[in-house]
Amino acid sequence: MSSENSTSSCAFYDDAEKYWQHISPTVSGMLGGHADVHQVDIEGSNKFLTALFRQRANLGTERACDCGAGIGRITKTLLQKYFSVIDLVEQNEAFLDEARTNILKDSTKVGQFFCTGLQNFTPEPKTYDVIWCQWVLGHLTDDDLLAFFTRCKTGLRGNGILVVKENVTSNGDVDFDQEDSSVTRPAKLLKELIRKAGFNLIKETKQRQFPSDLYPVYMYAAAPSNPHAS
């Protein structure tokens, strides 16, 4: 959604919040009923992150941020393998409660829990080695997504990286899902917003082995074009 007035933007966010309030705090709930893609998803992300560390020898492992973290699925099965501390950002309190009490209760690597939408989240400056955003950015308007990316740039450490893993449309159009109040953007628009926020794309990979009836999923890694300015 691009440049909406405040009334329609509020409805966009309110409708999404209402939708997720009725979703179970399970892997199936986080994946829209497609729990069968969980393992393939994590394997693809693991390969992407491993390759990124090979590509960026100076990429740190001190702290990561899991944006749109849900119940902590990605933190548990991916990020805590690489990073000493992971913060979670999620607007649904029930999901965060599940992460705290069940999914991540035995983890020694969980840092802070931020119960807020990404349109309202501001990372602490120069804090994160990696900010990981997956299957959540469709819940932001174009304007709010650009502003969020810009704040992410400030929140990264000197050699830090923004990672985006999202559905994309293959026809070049923006698809609106009325059920969960989200948009699926074409890859061209998503990459344009990343660049507008002051990033250079340094890696791009398509997720393999997903069912053919789902949207194509791409992973993007982006580094601030001028890291010393943030």
- For the entire predicted model, the pTM comes to 0.95
> Which range (66-80, 179-193, 213-227) has the least confidence?
213-227
Contact between 20 and 136 under an 8 Å Cβ cutoff? The reply is: no
Annotation: binding site: 68, 73, 118-119, 134
Instruction: Single out the residue of 112, 104, 109 nearest to residue 88, CA to CA.
Output: 112
How would you list the strands of the sheet with 128-134, edge to edge? Answer: 110-114, 85-89, 63-67, 128-134, 156-167, 217-224, 199-206
Contact between 156 and 128 under an 8 Å Cβ cutoff? The reply is: yes
Confidence of residue 19 (pLDDT cuts 50, 70, 90): very high
Q: What pLDDT digit, counting tens, does each position of 125-177 carry?
A: 999 999 999 999 999 999 999 999 999 999 999 999 999 999 999 999 999 99
93 CB burial (10 A radius; 0-12, 13-18, 19+):
exposed
Instruction: Find the mean pLDDT for residues 108-135.
Output: 98
- DSSP lists the bridge partners of residue 130 as 64, 161
Rounded CA separation 98/72 (Å)? 8
Q: What pLDDT digit, counting tens, does each position of 84-97 carry?
A: 999 999 999 999 99
pLDDT at 1: 56
pLDDT at 230: 45
The residues, ordered by sequence, that sit 6+ positions from 157 with a Cβ below 8 Å of its Cβ are 60, 62, 126, 127, 128, 129
Contact between 78 and 46 under an 8 Å Cβ cutoff? The reply is: yes
pLDDT at 198: 98
Break the chain into its structural domains and give their ranges.
Answer: 6-229
- pLDDT of 6 higher than 90: no
pLDDT at 8: 79
The count of C-alpha atoms lying within 13 angstroms of the C-alpha of 100, restricted to the half-sphere facing its C-beta, is 13
Helix (H, G, I), strand (E, B) or coil at 227: helix
- The average confidence (pLDDT) of the chain is 95
Instruction: Find the mean pLDDT for residues 19-44.
Output: 98
Confidence of residue 226 (pLDDT cuts 50, 70, 90): confident
* Numbers of helices and strands, H then E, in the chain: 7, 9
Q: What pLDDT digit, counting tens, does each position of 168-205 carry?
A: 999 999 999 999 999 999 999 999 999 999 999 999 99
- pLDDT of 3 higher than 50: no
Tell me which DSSP letter residue 99 carries: I
Rounded CA separation 88/69 (Å)? 6
> Which option is the CATH number for 6-229: 2.10.109.10, 3.40.50.150, 3.90.1300.10, 3.40.50.2300?
3.40.50.150
Question: How many other C-beta atoms lie within 10 A of the C-beta of residue 38?
Answer: 16
Contact between 64 and 137 under an 8 Å Cβ cutoff? The reply is: no
Annotation: binding site for S-adenosyl-L-methionine: 68, 73, 118-119, 134
Q: For residue 137, what are its two tokens?
A: 């950015």
pLDDT at 227: 58
Rounded CA separation 64/46 (Å)? 15
Instruction: Single out the residue of 79, 52, 58, 56 nearest to residue 67, CA to CA.
Output: 79
